Amino acid sequence: MIFTLVKCLIFLLGHIPLFLAGRAGAGLGRLFYLIDKRHREIVLKNLALAGYSEERARGLAQEVFMNLGLTLMEVMRTPWLSRRSLEKYVKCEGLEHLEKGLERGKGVIILTAHLGNWELLATWFAIMGYKMDVVVRDMDSPLAARLMEWMRTRHGHAMVLKKRSMRRLLKTLSANGIAGILLDQNVARVEGVFVDFFGTPACTNKGPAMLAAVSGAAVIPAFIHRENKRHIITIGPEIEVVRTGDKKSDALENTASFTAAIEKAVRRNPGEWFWVHRRWKTRPLE
């Protein structure tokens, strides 16, 4: 019953005219910047750790909250988007890199991050015919998990839980399929390796690097950012994957290169990254 009621609310919010939804989202973001002290302080601390001055960090923090507010309102629209509606305000650059990766026949790993409206990025791929397995984390709320799965799979993607993903993704890639992985969040020490991110060691999931090495899949970076009232998707050239046979060394080197690609994208649009996440929470052993 609650699930149905929330779906009805999403339907109503998802059909508000786009310009009104944008104003509402921006206003919501500004409001939470003012009242959500805990997450505001996390953002400011992260930005300082990344080397931004106090003045610049405060300006970026406001942008971060506004982006999240806008993204929230835009996500309500995704279940009802069509190719025609997407083409009005989403532009893609570099699609040839994805096509080239698929030509090899060993599958493609789309490497991305919580940047811009990352949910819209996934929706764009699905609507344009590039269905993929998207790796997700378990959510604390069963209702939220059910709602997000409904919205994310409506256009054809499949959700794969992170803790049970390796075998499924290897099968998908062996069939020249696509796997979507967000590699910009902190993980426990046992799951990751420490690589440089904005000049500070960040514990990063080594699974995608291992998956790429074993499968032979092409690793293609893809990010989305806002430009005026439009969204621009940038698909980059394939990231070279090192395969020397030394699994430990290769996982470290490849994870570092994947993370470097993410940092480069974040630096281009720092106000649109998910700085509310404690990216440097896990620390190296002394």
Domain count, the chain: 1
Is the residue at 223 inside a domain? yes
The predicted structure's pLDDT at residue 285: 81
Q: Whole domain around residue 212: which residue ranges?
A: 84-272
Is the residue at 248 inside a domain? yes
Is the residue at 140 inside a domain? yes
The 10 Å CB-count burial string (b at 16+, else e) for 225-234 is bbeeeebbbb
Is the residue at 71 inside a domain? no
Report in angstroms the alpha-carbon separations of 37 from 32, 40, 61, 200, 271: 8, 5, 12, 24, 18
What pTM value is reported for the model?
Answer: 0.95
Tens of each residue's pLDDT in the chain, 286 residues: 788 898 888 889 889 998 899 999 999 999 999 999 999 999 999 999 999 999 999 999 999 999 999 999 999 999 999 999 999 999 999 999 999 999 999 999 999 999 999 999 999 999 999 999 999 887 778 888 888 888 889 999 999 988 778 999 999 999 999 999 999 999 999 999 999 999 999 999 999 999 999 999 999 999 999 998 899 999 999 999 999 989 999 999 999 999 999 999 999 999 999 999 999 999 998 6
Report in angstroms the alpha-carbon separations of 262 from 21, 43, 115, 181, 232: 29, 18, 9, 12, 16
Is the residue at 46 inside a domain? no
Is the residue at 106 inside a domain? yes
